Amino acid sequence: MAREIYSLERFPERCAVIPESKKLRHLLFGKKPNTYRIIYAVDKRKHLVSVLHIRHGARAALSTKEKRQL
């Protein structure tokens, strides 16, 4: 998983924007039934990728409360 996260350094915008927030993206890692969503933000100005949350793919979408905490 770490290798996949570090790969975001090269082309962070290759992954999809998440339905819960237009400001965040997610990288899917693993194969079913062990898929994980790595939710991250991209700061283009600072050339920075921040991993905000890693969750199992079977979990429900982020709640409003969870979005606020990110």
Cα dihedral across residues 12, 2, 23, 14: positive or negative? positive
**pLDDT confidence of residue 40:** 97
In terms of C-beta distances under 8 Å and separation of at least 24 residues, what long-range contacts does 45-53 make, across chains too? 49/8, 49/9, 49/12, 51/5, 52/24
Q: Give the count of domains, the chain.
A: 1
**pLDDT confidence of residue 68:** 81
Domain around 42: 2-69
Average pLDDT over residues 23-43: 94
Average pLDDT over residues 11-39: 93
**pLDDT confidence of residue 67:** 79
Q: What's CA 22's distance to the chain center, in Å? A: 12
DSSP 8-class letter at 70: -
pLDDT tens, 44-57? 999 999 999 999 88
